[in-house]
Chains A and B, each alone.
Chain A
Protein backbone atom coordinates (compact mmCIF):
# COMPACT_ATOMS: atom_id res chain seq x y z
CA UNK A 1 0.00 0.00 0.00
CA UNK A 2 1.70 3.20 -1.17
CA UNK A 3 1.27 6.70 0.24
CA UNK A 4 2.38 9.50 -2.07
CA UNK A 5 4.88 11.40 0.09
CA UNK A 6 6.07 14.29 -2.08
CA UNK A 7 4.48 16.80 0.30
CA UNK A 8 1.66 16.91 2.86
CA UNK A 9 0.09 14.66 5.47
CA UNK A 10 1.60 11.38 4.19
CA UNK A 11 2.88 10.17 7.56
CA UNK A 12 -0.57 10.43 9.15
CA UNK A 13 -2.05 8.27 6.37
CA UNK A 14 0.77 5.75 6.75
CA UNK A 15 0.00 5.56 10.50
CA UNK A 16 -3.68 4.91 9.77
CA UNK A 17 -2.91 2.14 7.26
CA UNK A 18 -0.34 0.54 9.57
CA UNK A 19 -2.87 0.57 12.43
CA UNK A 20 -5.20 -1.42 10.15
CA UNK A 21 -2.52 -4.02 9.48
CA UNK A 22 -1.47 -2.88 5.99
CA UNK A 23 2.14 -2.35 4.95
CA UNK A 24 2.59 1.34 4.10
CA UNK A 25 5.29 2.45 1.65
CA UNK A 26 6.12 6.15 1.25
CA UNK A 27 6.27 6.93 -2.49
CA UNK A 28 8.69 9.57 -3.78
CA UNK A 29 10.31 8.06 -6.90
CA UNK A 30 9.32 6.23 -10.12
CA UNK A 31 10.85 3.04 -8.64
CA UNK A 32 8.54 3.29 -5.62
CA UNK A 33 5.51 3.38 -7.96
CA UNK A 34 6.48 0.00 -9.41
CA UNK A 35 6.43 -1.63 -5.95
CA UNK A 36 2.87 -0.82 -4.86
CA UNK A 37 -0.60 -2.35 -5.40
CA UNK A 38 -2.68 0.67 -4.35
CA UNK A 39 -2.05 4.30 -3.49
CA UNK A 40 -3.25 6.91 -1.03
CA UNK A 41 -2.84 10.46 -2.37
CA UNK A 42 -2.78 12.64 0.76
CA UNK A 43 -3.75 16.20 1.57
CA UNK A 44 -1.22 18.96 1.22
CA UNK A 45 -0.92 21.77 -1.29
CA UNK A 46 -2.13 20.44 -4.65
CA UNK A 47 -0.03 22.97 -6.62
CA UNK A 48 3.11 21.87 -4.76
CA UNK A 49 2.40 18.15 -5.13
CA UNK A 50 1.61 18.68 -8.82
CA UNK A 51 4.94 20.51 -9.27
CA UNK A 52 6.83 17.72 -7.47
CA UNK A 53 5.10 15.01 -9.55
CA UNK A 54 6.90 16.54 -12.55
CA UNK A 55 10.30 17.18 -10.96
CA UNK A 56 10.42 13.70 -9.37
CA UNK A 57 9.43 11.87 -12.57
CA UNK A 58 6.55 10.18 -10.74
CA UNK A 59 3.75 11.64 -12.87
CA UNK A 60 4.08 9.44 -15.99
CA UNK A 61 4.45 6.05 -14.27
CA UNK A 62 1.67 6.93 -11.83
CA UNK A 63 -0.67 7.96 -14.68
CA UNK A 64 0.08 4.63 -16.34
CA UNK A 65 -0.72 2.64 -13.18
CA UNK A 66 -3.97 4.57 -12.63
CA UNK A 67 -5.00 3.92 -16.24
CA UNK A 68 -4.25 0.26 -15.62
CA UNK A 69 -6.84 0.26 -12.82
CA UNK A 70 -4.69 0.61 -9.69
CA UNK A 71 -6.96 1.46 -6.72
CA UNK A 72 -6.41 4.92 -5.23
CA UNK A 73 -7.80 6.96 -2.34
CA UNK A 74 -7.39 10.74 -2.62
CA UNK A 75 -8.03 13.10 0.29
CA UNK A 76 -8.35 16.88 -0.17
CA UNK A 77 -5.40 17.76 -2.44
CA UNK A 78 -5.44 14.07 -3.42
CA UNK A 79 -9.03 14.40 -4.57
CA UNK A 80 -8.04 17.38 -6.73
CA UNK A 81 -5.17 15.41 -8.27
CA UNK A 82 -7.34 12.38 -9.10
CA UNK A 83 -10.23 14.43 -10.59
CA UNK A 84 -10.94 15.09 -14.27
CA UNK A 85 -11.48 18.86 -14.04
CA UNK A 86 -10.08 21.38 -11.55
CA UNK A 87 -11.76 24.74 -11.09
CA UNK A 88 -10.01 27.73 -9.48
CA UNK A 89 -6.64 26.07 -9.79
CA UNK A 90 -3.51 27.29 -11.50
CA UNK A 91 -3.59 27.29 -15.31
CA UNK A 92 -0.72 24.84 -15.49
CA UNK A 93 -2.15 22.51 -12.84
CA UNK A 94 -2.75 19.03 -14.29
CA UNK A 95 -4.74 16.21 -12.73
CA UNK A 96 -4.91 12.47 -13.49
CA UNK A 97 -8.56 12.17 -14.50
CA UNK A 98 -8.87 8.88 -12.62
CA UNK A 99 -12.42 9.68 -11.48
CA UNK A 100 -14.95 11.60 -13.59
CA UNK A 101 -15.65 14.57 -11.33
CA UNK A 102 -15.08 18.31 -11.45
CA UNK A 103 -13.56 19.77 -8.28
CA UNK A 104 -13.52 23.36 -7.06
CA UNK A 105 -10.44 24.28 -5.02
CA UNK A 106 -10.75 26.20 -1.73
CA UNK A 107 -14.53 26.01 -2.17
CA UNK A 108 -15.36 27.00 1.39
CA UNK A 109 -13.04 30.03 1.51
CA UNK A 110 -9.80 30.66 3.37
CA UNK A 111 -8.43 29.02 6.52
CA UNK A 112 -10.75 30.97 8.84
CA UNK A 113 -13.62 29.13 7.08
CA UNK A 114 -12.04 25.69 7.61
CA UNK A 115 -14.22 23.56 9.91
CA UNK A 116 -14.97 20.18 11.44
CA UNK A 117 -18.39 18.51 11.41
CA UNK A 118 -20.16 15.14 11.64
CA UNK A 119 -21.08 13.59 8.28
CA UNK A 120 -23.65 10.99 7.33
CA UNK A 121 -21.91 8.53 5.00
CA UNK A 122 -23.97 6.19 2.83
CA UNK A 123 -23.33 2.55 3.67
CA UNK A 124 -20.93 3.26 6.55
CA UNK A 125 -21.86 1.40 9.74
CA UNK A 126 -21.28 2.83 13.21
CA UNK A 127 -22.90 6.26 13.00
CA UNK A 128 -21.76 9.62 11.58
CA UNK A 129 -18.15 10.18 10.57
CA UNK A 130 -16.32 13.13 12.12
CA UNK A 131 -14.69 15.07 9.26
CA UNK A 132 -12.10 17.86 9.24
CA UNK A 133 -12.20 20.24 6.26
CA UNK A 134 -9.04 22.36 5.74
CA UNK A 135 -9.26 24.94 2.93
CA UNK A 136 -11.21 22.12 1.37
CA UNK A 137 -12.35 21.50 -2.20
CA UNK A 138 -15.86 20.42 -3.09
CA UNK A 139 -17.18 18.32 -5.98
CA UNK A 140 -18.80 20.55 -8.57
CA UNK A 141 -19.72 18.01 -11.25
CA UNK A 142 -20.33 14.28 -10.93
CA UNK A 143 -19.91 11.90 -13.88
CA UNK A 144 -22.39 9.11 -14.67
CA UNK A 145 -20.53 6.21 -13.01
CA UNK A 146 -19.69 8.13 -9.84
CA UNK A 147 -21.43 7.32 -6.58
CA UNK A 148 -21.81 10.19 -4.06
CA UNK A 149 -21.38 8.79 -0.52
CA UNK A 150 -21.57 12.02 1.50
CA UNK A 151 -22.33 15.66 0.95
CA UNK A 152 -22.60 18.99 2.75
CA UNK A 153 -24.58 22.07 1.76
CA UNK A 154 -21.89 23.16 -0.70
CA UNK A 155 -21.92 19.82 -2.58
CA UNK A 156 -20.57 16.25 -2.58
CA UNK A 157 -17.51 15.62 -0.37
CA UNK A 158 -17.04 11.84 -0.62
CA UNK A 159 -17.31 9.95 -3.94
CA UNK A 160 -16.41 6.54 -5.34
CA UNK A 161 -16.12 5.16 -8.84
CA UNK A 162 -14.75 1.65 -9.32
CA UNK A 163 -11.39 1.39 -7.57
CA UNK A 164 -11.10 5.13 -6.93
CA UNK A 165 -12.37 6.82 -3.77
CA UNK A 166 -11.97 10.54 -3.04
CA UNK A 167 -12.96 12.90 -0.23
CA UNK A 168 -12.69 16.65 0.47
CA UNK A 169 -11.80 16.16 4.12
CA UNK A 170 -9.03 14.56 6.17
CA UNK A 171 -9.76 11.09 7.61
CA UNK A 172 -6.05 10.88 8.54
CA UNK A 173 -6.47 13.69 11.11
CA UNK A 174 -8.99 11.80 13.27
CA UNK A 175 -8.73 8.46 15.05
CA UNK A 176 -11.74 6.99 13.23
CA UNK A 177 -10.23 4.56 10.69
CA UNK A 178 -13.46 3.47 8.96
CA UNK A 179 -12.79 5.18 5.62
CA UNK A 180 -9.27 3.77 5.40
CA UNK A 181 -10.75 0.36 6.24
CA UNK A 182 -13.38 0.76 3.50
CA UNK A 183 -10.66 1.54 0.98
CA UNK A 184 -8.52 -1.43 2.11
CA UNK A 185 -11.50 -3.77 1.79
CA UNK A 186 -11.92 -2.72 -1.83
CA UNK A 187 -8.26 -3.39 -2.70
Chain B
Protein backbone atom coordinates (compact mmCIF):
# COMPACT_ATOMS: atom_id res chain seq x y z
CA UNK B 1 0.00 0.00 0.00
CA UNK B 2 2.83 2.36 0.87
CA UNK B 3 4.43 1.60 -2.46
CA UNK B 4 1.26 2.42 -4.38
CA UNK B 5 1.09 5.75 -2.65
CA UNK B 6 4.76 6.30 -3.23
CA UNK B 7 4.27 5.99 -6.96
CA UNK B 8 1.34 8.39 -6.92
CA UNK B 9 3.35 10.96 -5.06
CA UNK B 10 6.52 10.47 -6.91
CA UNK B 11 6.04 10.50 -10.64
CA UNK B 12 9.42 12.19 -11.20
CA UNK B 13 11.64 9.48 -9.81
CA UNK B 14 12.85 6.69 -12.05
CA UNK B 15 12.71 2.97 -11.36
CA UNK B 16 14.53 1.60 -8.34
CA UNK B 17 13.87 4.61 -6.09
CA UNK B 18 11.44 3.94 -3.25
CA UNK B 19 9.72 6.67 -1.23
CA UNK B 20 7.73 6.33 1.99
CA UNK B 21 9.54 3.19 3.21
CA UNK B 22 10.04 2.54 6.91
CA UNK B 23 13.77 3.33 6.48
CA UNK B 24 13.06 6.66 4.81
CA UNK B 25 10.44 7.61 7.43
CA UNK B 26 12.56 6.58 10.41
CA UNK B 27 15.54 8.24 8.71
CA UNK B 28 14.02 11.69 9.13
CA UNK B 29 13.37 10.94 12.81
CA UNK B 30 17.08 9.98 13.15
CA UNK B 31 18.07 13.36 11.67
CA UNK B 32 16.03 15.20 14.31
CA UNK B 33 17.92 13.57 17.21
CA UNK B 34 19.58 15.83 19.75
CA UNK B 35 17.29 18.68 18.77
CA UNK B 36 14.31 20.76 19.86
CA UNK B 37 10.99 20.78 18.01
CA UNK B 38 9.07 23.94 18.79
CA UNK B 39 5.31 24.62 18.66
CA UNK B 40 4.56 27.75 16.61
CA UNK B 41 1.24 29.40 15.79
CA UNK B 42 2.29 31.75 12.97
CA UNK B 43 5.08 32.54 10.51
CA UNK B 44 6.72 35.09 12.82
CA UNK B 45 7.08 32.51 15.60
CA UNK B 46 8.36 29.95 13.09
CA UNK B 47 11.16 32.36 12.10
CA UNK B 48 12.07 32.90 15.75
CA UNK B 49 12.14 29.12 16.28
CA UNK B 50 14.47 28.60 13.33
CA UNK B 51 16.69 31.49 14.50
CA UNK B 52 16.91 29.80 17.92
CA UNK B 53 18.22 26.59 16.35
CA UNK B 54 15.04 24.45 16.34
CA UNK B 55 15.39 21.24 14.25
CA UNK B 56 11.73 21.44 13.22
CA UNK B 57 8.58 23.39 13.96
CA UNK B 58 5.13 22.07 14.86
CA UNK B 59 2.52 24.27 13.17
CA UNK B 60 -0.68 24.58 15.17
CA UNK B 61 -3.36 27.20 15.74
CA UNK B 62 -3.18 27.25 19.52
CA UNK B 63 -0.42 26.00 21.79
CA UNK B 64 -1.58 23.30 24.24
CA UNK B 65 -1.91 25.66 27.21
CA UNK B 66 -4.40 27.77 25.20
CA UNK B 67 -6.28 24.67 24.03
CA UNK B 68 -6.55 23.67 27.68
CA UNK B 69 -7.78 27.14 28.69
CA UNK B 70 -10.28 27.54 25.83
CA UNK B 71 -11.81 24.04 25.96
CA UNK B 72 -14.10 22.92 23.14
CA UNK B 73 -13.04 20.71 20.22
CA UNK B 74 -9.46 21.15 19.00
CA UNK B 75 -8.89 20.23 15.34
CA UNK B 76 -6.25 20.25 12.61
CA UNK B 77 -4.95 23.75 11.78
CA UNK B 78 -6.04 25.87 8.81
CA UNK B 79 -4.04 24.80 5.71
CA UNK B 80 -3.36 28.48 4.92
CA UNK B 81 -1.63 28.87 8.28
CA UNK B 82 0.47 25.71 7.72
CA UNK B 83 1.43 26.90 4.22
CA UNK B 84 2.40 30.31 5.62
CA UNK B 85 4.79 28.63 8.03
CA UNK B 86 6.21 26.29 5.36
CA UNK B 87 6.98 29.33 3.22
CA UNK B 88 9.24 31.06 5.77
CA UNK B 89 11.42 28.25 7.19
CA UNK B 90 13.85 25.76 5.64
CA UNK B 91 13.64 23.24 8.52
CA UNK B 92 11.03 20.44 8.55
CA UNK B 93 7.44 21.42 9.32
CA UNK B 94 5.20 19.13 11.38
CA UNK B 95 1.47 19.45 11.97
CA UNK B 96 -1.11 17.67 14.11
CA UNK B 97 -4.07 15.51 13.12
CA UNK B 98 -6.69 14.24 15.57
CA UNK B 99 -6.31 10.64 16.77
CA UNK B 100 -8.06 8.41 14.21
CA UNK B 101 -8.81 11.30 11.82
CA UNK B 102 -7.17 9.87 8.72
CA UNK B 103 -8.68 12.53 6.46
CA UNK B 104 -6.95 15.30 8.40
CA UNK B 105 -3.78 13.26 7.90
CA UNK B 106 -4.46 12.96 4.17
CA UNK B 107 -4.89 16.75 4.01
CA UNK B 108 -1.60 17.30 5.86
CA UNK B 109 0.17 14.91 3.47
CA UNK B 110 -1.33 16.76 0.47
CA UNK B 111 0.05 20.00 1.95
CA UNK B 112 3.55 18.51 1.94
CA UNK B 113 3.97 18.52 5.72
CA UNK B 114 7.20 16.66 6.63
CA UNK B 115 5.92 14.84 9.75
CA UNK B 116 2.35 14.25 10.98
CA UNK B 117 1.69 14.18 14.73
CA UNK B 118 -1.35 12.02 15.54
CA UNK B 119 -1.86 13.95 18.71
CA UNK B 120 -3.81 13.57 21.94
CA UNK B 121 -3.59 17.36 22.35
CA UNK B 122 -6.36 17.61 19.73
CA UNK B 123 -9.79 16.14 20.47
CA UNK B 124 -9.84 12.47 19.35
CA UNK B 125 -11.96 11.66 16.29
CA UNK B 126 -12.13 7.90 16.87
CA UNK B 127 -12.54 6.20 20.24
CA UNK B 128 -11.21 2.83 19.08
CA UNK B 129 -8.88 3.17 16.12
CA UNK B 130 -5.71 5.08 15.48
CA UNK B 131 -4.78 6.05 11.92
CA UNK B 132 -3.34 3.31 9.69
CA UNK B 133 -0.04 5.11 9.34
CA UNK B 134 1.49 2.53 7.01
CA UNK B 135 -0.91 3.80 4.32
CA UNK B 136 0.97 7.14 4.15
CA UNK B 137 4.23 8.28 2.56
CA UNK B 138 4.63 10.96 5.24
CA UNK B 139 6.11 9.76 8.55
CA UNK B 140 4.03 9.92 11.75
CA UNK B 141 4.94 10.67 15.34
CA UNK B 142 2.64 9.38 18.11
CA UNK B 143 2.54 9.82 21.85
CA UNK B 144 2.90 6.99 24.36
CA UNK B 145 2.71 6.71 28.14
CA UNK B 146 4.19 3.21 28.34
CA UNK B 147 6.00 0.57 26.28
CA UNK B 148 2.83 -1.24 25.17
CA UNK B 149 1.31 1.94 23.78
CA UNK B 150 4.58 2.76 22.00
CA UNK B 151 4.75 -0.69 20.36
CA UNK B 152 1.09 -0.53 19.28
CA UNK B 153 1.74 2.81 17.57
CA UNK B 154 4.90 1.44 15.91
CA UNK B 155 2.94 -1.57 14.63
CA UNK B 156 0.48 0.88 13.04
CA UNK B 157 3.41 2.55 11.27
CA UNK B 158 4.64 5.35 13.57
CA UNK B 159 8.23 6.33 12.67
CA UNK B 160 8.85 8.19 15.93
CA UNK B 161 7.49 7.92 19.48
CA UNK B 162 7.28 10.78 21.95
CA UNK B 163 6.49 10.26 25.59
CA UNK B 164 3.21 12.13 26.12
CA UNK B 165 3.75 13.93 29.38
CA UNK B 166 0.90 16.35 30.06
CA UNK B 167 0.91 19.06 27.39
CA UNK B 168 0.18 22.67 28.25
CA UNK B 169 0.92 22.34 31.97
CA UNK B 170 4.56 23.42 32.17
CA UNK B 171 4.82 20.52 34.63
CA UNK B 172 7.47 17.90 33.82
CA UNK B 173 6.22 15.25 36.27
CA UNK B 174 4.12 13.27 33.78
CA UNK B 175 6.86 13.31 31.13
CA UNK B 176 9.26 11.88 33.70
CA UNK B 177 6.73 9.20 34.66
CA UNK B 178 6.21 8.16 31.04
CA UNK B 179 9.91 8.20 30.11
CA UNK B 180 10.81 6.16 33.19
CA UNK B 181 8.05 3.68 32.42
CA UNK B 182 9.14 3.19 28.79
CA UNK B 183 12.89 3.07 29.47
CA UNK B 184 12.40 0.94 32.56
CA UNK B 185 10.38 -1.69 30.67
CA UNK B 186 12.90 -1.60 27.79
CA UNK B 187 15.63 -2.47 30.29
CA UNK B 188 13.54 -5.16 32.05
CA UNK B 189 12.33 -6.84 28.88
CA UNK B 190 15.90 -7.65 27.82
CA UNK B 191 16.09 -10.17 30.69
CA UNK B 192 12.96 -12.04 29.53
CA UNK B 193 13.51 -15.52 28.08
CA UNK B 194 11.46 -16.89 25.16
CA UNK B 195 8.53 -18.04 27.29
CA UNK B 196 8.42 -14.77 29.22
CA UNK B 197 8.31 -12.77 26.00
CA UNK B 198 4.88 -14.28 25.22
CA UNK B 199 3.67 -13.05 28.61
CA UNK B 200 5.18 -9.59 27.95
CA UNK B 201 3.35 -9.42 24.59
CA UNK B 202 0.07 -10.31 26.30
CA UNK B 203 0.57 -7.82 29.12
CA UNK B 204 1.73 -5.00 26.83
CA UNK B 205 -1.02 -5.82 24.30
CA UNK B 206 1.65 -5.51 21.63
CA UNK B 207 2.61 -7.70 18.66
CA UNK B 208 4.91 -10.58 19.62
CA UNK B 209 7.39 -9.82 16.81
CA UNK B 210 8.01 -6.30 18.11
CA UNK B 211 8.26 -7.56 21.70
CA UNK B 212 10.90 -10.11 20.61
CA UNK B 213 12.78 -7.39 18.74
CA UNK B 214 12.96 -4.97 21.68
CA UNK B 215 13.82 -7.86 24.05
CA UNK B 216 16.85 -8.48 21.84
CA UNK B 217 17.94 -4.85 21.32
CA UNK B 218 16.74 -3.11 24.49
CA UNK B 219 15.71 -0.18 22.29
CA UNK B 220 12.56 0.85 20.43
CA UNK B 221 12.91 0.25 16.68
CA UNK B 222 12.25 4.00 16.17
CA UNK B 223 13.65 7.04 18.02
CA UNK B 224 12.10 8.07 21.37
CA UNK B 225 11.58 11.80 22.02
CA UNK B 226 9.96 13.57 24.96
CA UNK B 227 6.97 15.94 24.95
CA UNK B 228 4.51 17.46 27.38
CA UNK B 229 5.55 19.79 30.19
CA UNK B 230 9.06 20.99 29.27
CA UNK B 231 9.33 24.62 30.43
CA UNK B 232 13.02 25.24 31.22
CA UNK B 233 16.51 24.31 29.94
CA UNK B 234 16.91 22.03 32.96
CA UNK B 235 13.64 20.26 32.09
CA UNK B 236 14.99 19.56 28.58
CA UNK B 237 18.30 18.26 29.97
CA UNK B 238 16.39 16.08 32.47
CA UNK B 239 14.35 14.48 29.68
CA UNK B 240 17.53 13.86 27.67
CA UNK B 241 19.37 12.31 30.63
CA UNK B 242 16.36 10.06 31.25
CA UNK B 243 16.82 8.65 27.75
CA UNK B 244 14.85 10.91 25.40
CA UNK B 245 16.72 11.58 22.15
CA UNK B 246 15.13 14.99 21.45
CA UNK B 247 12.47 17.19 22.99
CA UNK B 248 9.23 18.76 21.83
CA UNK B 249 8.54 22.09 23.51
CA UNK B 250 5.00 23.37 23.19
CA UNK B 251 3.91 26.27 25.32
CA UNK B 252 7.28 26.46 27.12
CA UNK B 253 8.92 28.83 24.65
CA UNK B 254 6.27 31.20 23.36
CA UNK B 255 4.45 31.43 26.72
CA UNK B 256 7.66 32.45 28.52
CA UNK B 257 8.61 36.07 29.18
CA UNK B 258 11.37 36.02 26.51
CA UNK B 259 10.75 33.38 23.80
CA UNK B 260 13.96 34.03 21.86
CA UNK B 261 16.18 33.60 24.92
CA UNK B 262 14.21 30.62 26.18
CA UNK B 263 14.36 29.01 22.76
CA UNK B 264 18.13 29.43 22.44
CA UNK B 265 18.71 28.28 26.02
CA UNK B 266 16.61 25.12 25.61
CA UNK B 267 18.42 24.27 22.34
CA UNK B 268 21.83 24.58 24.03
CA UNK B 269 20.73 22.66 27.12
CA UNK B 270 19.47 19.83 24.91
CA UNK B 271 22.78 19.48 23.05
CA UNK B 272 24.91 19.83 26.20
CA UNK B 273 22.48 17.99 28.51
CA UNK B 274 25.28 16.13 30.28
CA UNK B 275 27.23 19.32 31.04
CA UNK B 276 25.67 21.08 34.07
CA UNK B 277 28.05 24.04 33.65
CA UNK B 278 26.49 24.84 30.29
CA UNK B 279 22.93 24.20 31.51
CA UNK B 280 23.68 26.63 34.39
CA UNK B 281 25.13 29.21 32.01
CA UNK B 282 22.13 29.22 29.68
CA UNK B 283 19.62 29.19 32.58
CA UNK B 284 21.02 32.34 34.20
CA UNK B 285 18.70 35.38 34.25
CA UNK B 286 16.24 33.94 31.75
CA UNK B 287 13.17 35.67 33.23
CA UNK B 288 9.83 34.03 33.97
CA UNK B 289 9.06 30.58 32.58
CA UNK B 290 5.51 29.82 31.46
CA UNK B 291 2.97 29.50 34.27
CA UNK B 292 2.61 25.94 35.55
CA UNK B 293 -0.31 23.76 36.54
CA UNK B 294 -0.69 20.96 39.09
CA UNK B 295 -1.76 17.72 37.42
CA UNK B 296 -4.34 16.99 40.16
CA UNK B 297 -6.31 20.16 39.38
CA UNK B 298 -6.74 19.42 35.66
CA UNK B 299 -10.21 18.98 34.18
CA UNK B 300 -8.84 17.09 31.15
CA UNK B 301 -5.72 14.95 31.04
CA UNK B 302 -4.58 14.73 27.41
CA UNK B 303 -2.34 11.74 28.18
CA UNK B 304 -5.39 9.52 28.77
CA UNK B 305 -6.44 9.98 25.14
CA UNK B 306 -5.29 7.20 22.81
CA UNK B 307 -5.60 3.43 23.21
With contacts A44-B55, A48-B91 known, is A116 near B21, CB below 8 A?
yes
Residues of B within 8 A of A7 (CB): 33-35, 55, 271
Question: Contact mask B3-28 → A, CB, 8 Å, 1/0?
Answer: 00000011001101111110110011
Q: Which residues of B contact A51 (CB under 8 A)?
A: 52-53, 267
Q: Which residue of A lies closest to B54 (CB)?
A: A48
Contact of A111 with B by CB under 8 A: yes
- On whether the beta carbons of A48 and B92 are closer than 8 Å, the reply is no
Contacts of A173 in B (CB 8 A): 23, 27, 30
| B109 on interface, CB distance cutoff 8 Å | yes
B91 and A45: CB pair below 8 A?
A: yes
Q: Which residues of A contact B27 (CB under 8 A)?
A: 114, 132, 134, 170, 173
In the bound complex, CA of A51 to CA of B17 (Å):
33
Query: Do B34 and A44 have beta carbons less than 8 Å apart?
Result: yes
In the complex, what distance in Å separates the CA atom of A25 from the CA atom of B31? 19
Compute how far the CA of A173 lies from the CA of B131 in the bound complex, rounded to whole angstroms: 27
Contact assessment for A52 and B10 in the assembled complex, using a CB-CB cutoff below 8 Å: no
A56 contact from B24, B30, B50, B271, Cβ within 8 A: B271
Identity of the chain B residue whose Cβ is nearest the Cβ of A172 in the assembled complex: B30
User: How far apart are B58's CB and chain A's nearest CB, in angstroms?
Assistant: 14
- B114 at the A interface (CB under 8 A): yes
How many Å from the CB of B138 to the closest CB on chain A? Answer: 6
Q: Are B19 and A113 in contact (CB under 8 A)?
A: yes
Whether a CB of chain B sits under 8 angstroms from the CB of A97 is no
Q: Indicate whether B112 reaches chain A with its CB closer than 8 angstroms.
A: yes
Are A8's CB and B34's CB within 8 A? Answer: yes
- Tell me if A178 counts as interface (CB < 8 A to partner B): no
Asked if B248 CB lies within 8 Å of chain A CBs, one says no
B45 → A minimal CB distance (Å): 16
Q: Closest CB of chain B to A49's CB: distance in Å?
A: 9
Nearest chain A CB to B105 CB, angstrom units = 13
Known: A115-B17, A173-B30. A28 touches B271 (CB 8 A): yes
From B50, B56, B112, give the contact of A90 (CB < 8 A).
B50
Q: Contact mask A1-18 → B, CB, 8 Å, 1/0?
A: 000011111111000000
Instruction: For B270, give the chain A residue with the smallest CB separation.
Output: A7
A41–chain B nearest beta-carbon distance, Å: 13
Given the contacts A8-B33, A45-B32, A173-B30, A111 and B268 also touching, CB distance less than 8 Å = no
Instruction: Select A48's contact among B24, B35, B114, B137, beta carbons within 8 Å.
Output: B35
Q: With a CB–CB cut-off of 8 A, which chain B residues contact A45?
A: 31-32, 35, 55-56, 91-92
Return the 5 tightest CB-CB contacts between A and B, nearest first.
Answer: A51-B53, A111-B114, A117-B17, A7-B34, A134-B27
A-to-B contact residues, CB < 8 Å: 5-12, 28, 43-45, 47-48, 51-52, 55-56, 76-77, 88-90, 105-106, 109-118, 132, 134-135, 153, 170, 173-174
Binding site for A on B (CB under 8 A): 9-10, 13-14, 16-21, 23-24, 27-28, 30-35, 50, 52-56, 90-92, 109, 112, 114-115, 137-139, 264, 267-268, 271-272, 275
What are 9 residue pairs bridging A and B, where the CB atoms are less than 8 Å apart in the complex? Answer: A7-B33, A43-B30, A45-B92, A51-B53, A111-B92, A117-B17, A118-B16, A134-B30, A135-B31
